[in-house]
Amino acid sequence: MAEIVIVPDDQVAGELAAEAILRRLIDEPEPVLGLATGSTPTSTYHAMVRRAAGQDWLKNLKAFALDEYVGLPDGHPESYAEVLRREFIEPMGLVPAQVMLPPGGLDGLSTAAAQYEAAIADAGGIDVQILGIGTDGHIGFNEPGSSLASRTRVKTLAESTRRDNARFFSSLDEVPVHCITQGLGTVLDSRHLILLAFGAHKADAIAAAVEGPVSASLPASVVQLHPHVTVLVDEPAAAKFKHGDYYRFAYANKFEWQRL
Ligand code: PGA
């Protein structure tokens, strides 16, 4: 079962996630981190920057983003390449070549996904993958109906996702229709998954993901098939758990050596 940790707010979650990520990566000769975008990972990135920006070992770090919009012009401020540059790459003191994203340009799009998969494999796979969850239960941009064995590919965004993300654009029409995303099978290959969910609007999706049936209709439920998953949620996002009391009890009674 996933380890589910209910915390007071996203700041506490960010500190716990950053601590677990850094502890895992710092001793790897070739550390590989999986990055998410959206609002959810912001507190984790801030905590990582506070704890580790500019440290020497980061020179060996490679990172792979989960997904990217298709068809935004280079340098568009809401492209995930730009979001990660602003929120993670520059504040951490990394050079851009250390961080790869699935390329969202229209040129070469038909072969981009397979090349991205090969790049992750060449790097030795992802040690820790950060994940958010969409209100429709997506992880990455794997919308409902995504194969649980899917690999990186071009997908069409769900209307609900485009509406959720319209807040980052000046209108709904500007939100791209297509994306390129790691598949659910790709995500399962990462060695540790850290799934974050904050706010009451995520409560149904996160409860279904960890307590509901494993189903392509709720893509995040695929994490139930992974042997090492940490789920960090704030109180509003935890409101719909059936077994919330048990998760709190288990976390409060961990042995010292049982860290995240
Ligand atoms: P959010 O999006 O972090 O902006 O809420 C999460 C997601 O859609 O995966």
Measured CA to CA, the distance from residue 142 to residue 246 in angstroms comes to: 30
Q: Ligand 1 centre from 227 Cα, in Å?
A: 23
Any catalytic annotation for residue 90?
Answer: no
63 Cα to the center of ligand 1, angstroms: 19
Long-range contacts, 48-53 (Cβ 8 Å, 24+)? 48/18, 48/21, 48/22, 48/88, 48/92, 49/88, 49/91, 49/92, 50/18, 51/18, 51/19, 51/22, 52/18, 52/22, 52/26, 52/92, 53/91, 53/92, 53/93
* pLDDT, the chain, mean: 97
Angle at 34 between CA 31 and CA 39, to 5 degrees: 135
Kindly indicate the confidence band of residue 30, based on its pLDDT and cuts at 50, 70 and 90: very high
Q: Residue 143's closest CA among 101, 111, 177? A: 177
**b/e code 106-142 from CB counts within 10 Å (16+ = b):** eeebeebbeebbeebeebeebbbbbbbbbbbbbbbbb
Round to whole Å and give the CA distance between 220 and 46. Answer: 25
Q: Is 134 in the pocket of ligand 1 (CB under 6 A)?
A: yes
Does residue 136 carry a catalytic annotation? yes
pLDDT at 151 over 80: yes
Which whole number is the average pLDDT over 26-41? 96
Q: What is the pLDDT of residue 138?
A: 96
The pLDDT-based confidence of 258 (bands split at 50, 70, 90) is confident
Tell me if 40 CB under 6 Å of ligand 1: yes
Q: DSSP letter string over 135-147? A: TTS-BTTB-TT--
Domains of the chain: 3-253 (3.40.50.1360)
Which residues have a Cβ under 8 Å from the Cβ of 98 and sit 6 or more positions away? 61, 62, 63, 89
Q: How far is the CA of 58 from the centre of ligand 1 (A)?
A: 26
Catalytic residue among 68, 138, 164, 234: 138
Q: Please, what's the largest Cα pairwise distance for the chain?
A: 53
Residue range 224-236: average pLDDT?
Answer: 98
The angle, 0 to 180 degrees and rounded to 10, between the axes of the packed helices 42-52 and 10-26 is 50
Query: CA separation (Å) from 178 to 4, 8, 96, 171, 215?
Result: 32, 35, 24, 16, 23
Q: How far apart are the CA of 69 and the centre of ligand 1, in A?
A: 14
Amino acid, single-letter form, for residue 11: Q
pLDDT in tens, 96-133: 999 999 999 999 999 999 999 999 999 999 999 999 99
Beta bridge partner(s), residue 99: 63
213-232 mean pLDDT: 98
Of the listed 10, 87, 143, 234, which one is catalytic? 143
Residue 259: pLDDT over 90 = no
In the chain, which residue ranges form alpha helices assigned H by DSSP? Answer: 10-26, 42-52, 80-84, 90-92, 109-122, 159-165, 184-189, 203-211, 244-252
Instruction: Give the nearest ligand 1 atom to 202 CA.
Output: 5
pLDDT score of 1 more than 70: no
> Is 143 tagged catalytic?
yes
Find out whether 182 and 67 touch, Cβ atoms under 8 Å. Answer: yes
Ligand 1 within 6 A of 181 CB? no
Global pTM value: 0.97
Say if residues 247 and 25 touch (Cβ distance below 8 Å): no
Backbone angles phi, psi at 35, to 5 degrees: -105, 145
For the segment 155-183, the average pLDDT, to the nearest whole number, is 96
